[in-house]
Amino acid sequence: MTAIIRYEGREFINFRDFDFDPGSSHRFQWVDIKTFRLLDMDADDHLVLEALIRTIEFRDDYVGGGVNPDGDVHGPYFLDKLTPDAFTPARSSTLQETFRKWTNLCGSLPDRLRDTLLDQVINPIESATTRFQLRNLGEVAKNDYADIHNEFHEFVLINRVERRLILIVATDD
């Protein structure tokens, strides 16, 4: 079987690393960004999502354990409950609004953090040729520590022009 995507790297933006003005707070929020190279340009979005779910890097609990090659969870869900159908197509404006509402919980963002989020999250959302958001899969799909995060937002951005897939998780601890 021909590889469809290849993992390239990770960026982690911890809001605690930025100085907030009085009245605003990092609220223990952070963004995890994993980038993949799109190798098979003929693969449709369903196959690309399927390939993402099969990667080792997708086996991340996002509660401090990191990627576990033998793991059976992804974020708040059991891995066997995740299929390409768990991701719903989304507009750029919808993802940006979801992300901005989540960051607005912090109050006023420091300029450096706002610039970092623009570069690492907002611009990739805008330039993606296809966008998906992980939907709430319900209680039957949740693992034992699914409720650790107050909010869990996950976006998959496919940019066929740049031959790139970006997995963005925005949450808290």
Q: What are phi and psi of 29, to 5 degrees?
A: -85, 155
C-beta separation of 72 from 53 below 8 A: no
How confident is the model at residue 79, as a pLDDT?
A: 93
How confident is the model at residue 46, as a pLDDT?
A: 97
How confident is the model at residue 146, as a pLDDT?
A: 63
Domains held by the chain: number:
1
Q: Is the pLDDT of residue 1 over 60?
A: no
How confident is the model at residue 87, as a pLDDT?
A: 98
- pLDDT, tens digit, for every residue of 91-114? 999 999 999 999 999 999 999 999
Q: pLDDT higher for 151 or 126?
A: 126
Residue 117: CB partners within 8 Å, gap ≥ 6?
13, 31, 99, 103, 109
The mean of the pLDDT values for the chain is 94
| Lowest-confidence region among 30-34, 45-49, 60-64, 83-87 | 60-64
How confident is the model at residue 71, as a pLDDT?
A: 86
Taking CA atoms, 117 is separated from 36, 47, 84, 111, 151, in Å, by 19, 29, 26, 10, 18
Q: Please report, for the domain that includes residue 153, its CATH number.
A: 3.40.1000
Percentage of the chain surpassing pLDDT 70?
A: 97
Q: Domain containing 44: what range?
A: 5-172
Element (H, E) at 84: none
Alpha carbon 126 to chain centroid distance?
Answer: 15
Instruction: State the number of CA atoms in the 13 A half-sphere of 173 facing the CB.
Output: 14
Tell me, yes or no, if the pTM score tops 0.85: yes
How confident is the model at residue 13, as a pLDDT?
A: 98
Instruction: State the number of CA atoms in the 13 A half-sphere of 84 facing the CB.
Output: 10
